[in-house]
Structure 1
């Protein structure tokens, strides 16, 4: 089984993404992997002081970004898994975020690692629904359900361009 992070395989824009891009020096550079033998993806991320939304807590928008990138990667990895293909195989699979419903249950402390667990719930046509929970220590702080839509490589590239380059 491949234990590399989903983000290592997501192209064309995955390497510059603010949330998960390894080539974005200002980003959060999250890394998502499958739990051994499970259909659950995990990610552990340590917020930095500039991610604060209050004196000791992570900003809600920052949390939503981390959830989006982790759940997005999980949706793509799930589609590959359902097709019995490695993430590096052709044709490449691309998705875009369609919607996210985020419930902030309690503040997420800034000082300790954030643990995300995402579970694919269903695939309906081109839509993949993923549930994600955020924990700080033993406490669940955020819950989310996101919908990600499979698109062509061209559509993924077009959505990744800024309006200035169109």
Structure 2
């Protein structure tokens, strides 16, 4: 189990592999972001996307799926996130893309009022199979501190 005390500014991790399928892009768009360029090759061809593109919110969901799988393999004493900052969708994600993630710890801060916990700020970047960044954000996560013996 990794606790807040086990992290340092500058720590990095690389993980995940997510194959983006056309069916999933269409299903997500139909349910949550039914804009034409997420639903139709023809409509997407008339935009800067050039072809069918996943919703940015879908991209965030794929990142979250990879993060949860990573946390299953590397358990953390997470108490959940309080939010994200600086979300950017840098490049479109298309069916057939293969995504992966990298994180870097930006800040480790023990709580002043609750000594059993603290917060981490980390930058998450998702890349496609060409190692091009497709999305990036800063996550703020609450974590337990290592129990004292």
Structure 1-normalised TM-score? 0.51
Specify the alignment match of 1:132 in structure 2: 124
Specify the alignment match of 1:42 in structure 2: 15
Tell whether 2:74 aligns with 1:93. Answer: no
State the shift of 1:42 in Å: 1.7
| Distance (whole Å) between structure 2 residues aligned to residue 129 and residue 70 of structure 1 | 18
- Distance verdict in 2 for CA 1:141–1:57, change over 3 Å: same
1:15-41: CA deviations, max 9, x gaps?
xxxxxxxxxxxxxxxxxxxxxxx7323
Tell whether 2:53 aligns with 1:57. Answer: yes
| Distance (whole Å) between structure 1 residues aligned to residue 94 and residue 69 of structure 2 | 24
Q: Choose between structure 1 and 2 for higher RCO, CA contacts under 8 A separated by at least 6 residues.
A: 2
Task: Please identify which structure carries the higher strand content.
Answer: 2
| Distance (whole Å) between structure 1 residues aligned to residue 94 and residue 123 of structure 2 | 21
| Unaligned residue ranges in structure 2 (runs of 5+) | 2-10, 30-37, 42-51, 111-117
Count of residue pairs brought into register by the alignment: 104
* 3-state SS of 1:141 partner: strand
- Distance verdict in 2 for CA 1:106–1:139, change over 3 Å: same
Tell whether 2:96 aligns with 1:123. Answer: no
Structure 2-normalised TM-score? 0.55
1:53-105: CA deviations, max 9, x gaps?
5242222112112334555777x79xxxxxxxxx56xxx72320111131011
Specify the alignment match of 2:32 in structure 1: none
- Distance verdict in 2 for CA 1:151–1:70, change over 3 Å: farther
| Unaligned residue ranges in structure 1 (runs of 5+) | 1-8, 10-37, 78-86, 153-166
